[in-house]
Amino acid sequence: MSDATPTGATHTRIRPFNTKDTYPEQNLDNDLCQAVIAGGVVYLRGQIGQDLDTRESVGIGDVEAQAEKAMANIAMLLDEAGSSLKDIVKVTVYLVDIRYRETVYRVMGRWLKGVYPVSTGLVVDALARPEWLVEIDATAVLSRDPS
């Protein structure tokens, strides 16, 4: 399901949402989206173990399952944007525990075999919800006309 919203001549926003719907337990009211296409580049929101259609967390307690879902979300969003995994130029990985690094990077490595993006990995105290163990964001270029 793609909900692409043109916002002028230079940007397209994919899957817009408001944080009051996504995080009802938090006192937030921010208009965001899952991806923005601007100047031939696709910028993705950090992806976690969450179903983008239902907003349900998946893989609770299982960093491998969360990393798989994050990468599946990335692939789906890039496809909706007119790009693909092979067009990724940069990934950033956020882990809540350094011991998850090998597991997460093995998952990511399977999805990005032969792509060779630049990568940054960070260990953080927490993510937006306590059940989330890993977040992966990506930047890619357009590989075809998104219309």
Q: Beta strand 31-38 with 11-18: parallel, antiparallel or unpaired?
A: antiparallel
- In the predicted model, is pLDDT for residue 146 greater than 70? no
* 73 located within any domain: yes
Domain enclosing residue 102, as ranges: 11-141
CATH number at residue 118: 3.30.1330.40
Of 127, 15, 142, the C-alpha closest to 63 is 127
Q: At 133, is the pLDDT very low, low, confident or very high (cuts 50, 70, 90)?
A: very high
In a domain, 146, yes or no: no
Output the pLDDT for position 82.
94
Q: What share of the chain is helix, strand, coil (3-state, %, to 5)?
A: 25, 35, 40
Average pLDDT of 98-113? 98
pTM of the model: 0.87
